Structure 1
Amino acid sequence: MVNHPGLVNFLGGFQDETCVYFVMEYVCGGEFFRHLKAKENKGHIKVTDLGFAKVVGSGKRTYTLCGTPDYLAPEIILNKGHGMAVDWWAFGVFLYEMMAGFPPFYDEDVTNTYKKILSGRFGFPAHFSVNARDLIRKLLQADLSKRYGCLAGGANDIKNHPWFKGVDWIKVAKREETPPIRPVVKAADDRSNFDDYSSLGALKHDFELSMNEQAMFVGF
């Protein structure tokens, strides 16, 4: 099992009659919806929520419709088949939300969210810099032949964009950069950076997995 410093690592799993359980690495810095960023105790970001992650071979497509509506690329909604290009679109949505506090195509009605995504029209709050607007527009590009991350330069087009000027990507990978925010962590098992969900009680289901469903996860 590979331990990746930038991901919340999967440690193991098991199942019972109703659920499949994932045992994940504990990251004591808190969760996304608490900090609006995921961090370790030293302030470095780890990526989690990989439940819908899927490996798609080079040049191949998948047709699975899943994910958070606000982050879906047009080709997913249109069921055209999609690959890694949708991740670059989602990255554009992510950058926008981190700076605005809300996603670019937000609507209380999910159908309207899809319509906005397909229209490709969105605006920027006044505080967005010229470089931020330029990068986000190039990521939220419906035409895959123009979307940043999908061009000949690949991810380097994004990393070398003026908005990231001054970022030393080698130091970032080595966790040698000083993060702008570091959560206070009192001990290795400190839970103060997480919301308290203890009042919710144990998860219960009104069904049981069939033998065939159970067999799908044997040895997982």
Structure 2
Amino acid sequence: TESRVYFVMEYVSGGDLMWHIQREPFSERRAKFYACEVLLALEYFHTQGIIYRDLKLDNIMLGLDGHIKVADYGLCKENMWYGDTTGTFCGTPEFMAPEILLEQKYGRAVDWWAFGVLVYEMLLGQSPFRGEDEDEIFDAILEDEILYPVNMSRDSVSICQRLLTRDPKKRLGAGPSDAAEIKEHPFFHGVNWEDMLAKRVPPPFCPTINGPLDTSNFDEEFTRERPALTPINNPLSRVEQQEFQNFSYIAD
């Protein structure tokens, strides 16, 4: 418009995994399917030298075809190849790796720690680390024993334990082979990764909507919010307006 630039993103109407797991616990089959697709997404990031650093159920969207889409790249860091490190303290508390909390230099293994938390949450419907506030959650991440119910499958327990290893050097996926090491874990036995990447594996669940403007797969806390536009300070001059000529894009 004459006064504002609007950044419009794709509307993924199927909602996020947090919304869905709060309404119905995931079966191991469903959790494994999402874990496979998230693993492939993280693998792609890492092959591009990117660490994601904000993996959580809220950032995994579901398309109407039942396949996931990873959202929110605000905490990504580029030029992070195997052996490269950074030190920014960031992330969502329940998903932050111990090395981040200890303010140590860290690499892409922090994504595999967060992946372990995600897998645990999808399998059990709760976080492995609990607390009343951030400090208690951080203490739990650094010190608490992670509990697994007796009815949890051996392979499910094993992959969570391997990913939630506090020493990043010993964590599953921390080596130069990255995601390939995780794919070989027995939890993923029988997965055809080529078919998974090509979306040839039928999803265990497909969300439904009543129309293109349906927001029923999102919490009303958000859908009832009134849009708030940034106040206009000064009208743009004619010269400034010219900077935004043809500033539009229509996606296929």
Per the TM alignment, residue 70 of structure 1 is displaced from its structure 2 partner at its CA by 0.6
Unaligned ranges ≥5, structure 2: 22-59, 234-242, 245-252
Separation of aligned partners in 1, 2:195 and 2:209 = 23
* Aligned match for 2:74, one of 46, 51, 73: 51
> SS at the partner of 1:93?
helix
Deviation digits for residues 58-82 of structure 1, max 9, x if unmatched? Answer: 2322221111111000110011111
Separation of aligned partners in 1, 2:174 and 2:197 = 22
Aligned to 2:105: 81
Q: Is the 8 A contact 2:173 2:179 kept in 1?
A: yes
Q: Is the 8 A contact 2:80 2:108 kept in 1?
A: no
Name the TM-score, length of structure 1 as normaliser: 0.77
Aligned to 1:142: 166
Per the TM alignment, residue 188 of structure 1 is displaced from its structure 2 partner at its CA by 4.1
Aligned to 2:226: 201
Separation of aligned partners in 1, 2:85 and 2:6 = 28
> SS at the partner of 1:89?
helix
Aligned to 2:64: 41
Separation of aligned partners in 1, 2:149 and 2:134 = 22
Per the TM alignment, residue 47 of structure 1 is displaced from its structure 2 partner at its CA by 0.9
Aligned to 1:132: 156
Per the TM alignment, residue 205 of structure 1 is displaced from its structure 2 partner at its CA by 7.7
- Aligned alpha-carbon RMSD (Å): 2.6
Aligned to 1:90: 114
Per the TM alignment, residue 166 of structure 1 is displaced from its structure 2 partner at its CA by 1.7
Which is worse superposed, 172-181 or 30-39?
30-39
Give the number of equivalent residue pairs. Answer: 192
Q: Is the 8 A contact 1:120 1:142 kept in 2?
A: no
Aligned to 2:16: 31
Q: Is the 8 A contact 1:56 1:83 kept in 2?
A: no
Separation of aligned partners in 2, 1:22 and 1:120 = 42
Which is worse superposed, 171-180 or 23-32?
23-32
Unaligned ranges ≥5, structure 1: 1-14, 209-217
* 1:60–1:21 Cα change, 3 Å: farther
Amino acid corresponding to residue 87 of structure 2 in structure 1: Y
Separation of aligned partners in 2, 1:140 and 1:160 = 17
Amino acid corresponding to residue 149 of structure 1 in structure 2: G
